[in-house]
């Protein structure tokens, strides 16, 4: 099981390194009131990584209820905080209201990476119509920085 997780994570990170670090190209999944979106990021030489999600529907409110993240850092880094926030433009935090994501966080370490898995269904964060959700990953280290993240948000769409 550990080897399968490790192999899947290494495949994800290899694909992330091969792709340019641009905004995500996938679209959110919307089915009735169901909403799901995914964002991926790779950051080197910075203590912070920001994952940007697609703009929420212009005619609906979004209640985010579940967040999952797979995060990898260098072995010398410590995952210090993961926060959900919204903006009026992609990646901005101009709306305030950051929410620290507190869920079950576990990690496994190798000689080259520390792998974190964060899962929570203990949140309720409301986004207004046409807003941009983002997740910030913060780390601390005495060495160099490298952050790789893949997060999924799930929630429910509601009328204004």
CATH topology of domain 2-159: Jelly Rolls (2.60.120)
Query: What phi and psi values does residue 128 have, to the nearest 5 degrees?
Result: -75, 170
pLDDT band at 160; cut points 50, 70, 90: confident
Domain ranges (residues) in the chain: 2-159
In the DSSP assignment, the letter for residue 53 is P
Flag whether pLDDT at 2 surpasses 90: no
**Sequence-ordered list of residues with C-beta below 8 angstroms from that of 72, at least 6 positions apart, any chain:** 9, 13, 113, 114, 115, 116, 146, 147, 148, 149
24 has a pLDDT exceeding 70? no
pTM over 0.75: yes
Those residues whose C-beta lies under 8 Å from the C-beta of residue 142, and which sit 6 or more positions away, are: 76
Looking at residue 146, what DSSP letter applies? E
Q: Which tokens sit at 132?
A: 């941009």
Task: Compute the distance between CA of residue 150 and CA of residue 127 in angstroms, rounded to an integer.
Answer: 21
Confidence of residue 26 (pLDDT cuts 50, 70, 90): low
Q: Tell me what the mean pLDDT of segment 112-128 comes to.
A: 90
* Per-residue confidence (pLDDT) for residue 17, from 0 to 100: 40
| Mean pLDDT over each residue of the chain, to the nearest integer | 84
CB neighbours of residue 37 within 10 Å: 22
């Amino acid at each position: 099981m550990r080897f399968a997780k490790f192999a899947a994570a290494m495949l994800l990170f290899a694909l992330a390194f091969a792709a340019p670090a641009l905004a995500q190209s996938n679209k959110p999944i919307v089915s009735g009131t169901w909403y799901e979106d995914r964002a991926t990021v790779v950051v080197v030489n910075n203590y912070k990584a920001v994952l940007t999600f697609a703009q929420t529907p212009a005619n609906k409110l979004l209640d985010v209820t579940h967040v999952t993240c797979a995060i990898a850092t260098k072995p010398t880094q410590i995952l210090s905080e993961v926060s959900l926030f919204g903006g009026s433009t992609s990646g901005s935090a101009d709306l305030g209201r950051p929410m620290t994501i507190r869920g079950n966080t576990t990690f496994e370490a190798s000689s080259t990476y520390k792998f974190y898995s964060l899962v929570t269904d203990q949140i309720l964060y409301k986004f207004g119509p046409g807003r941009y959700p983002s997740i910030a990953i913060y780390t601390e280290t005495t060495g160099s920085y490298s952050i790789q993240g893949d997060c999924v948000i799930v929630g429910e769409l509601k009328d204004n």
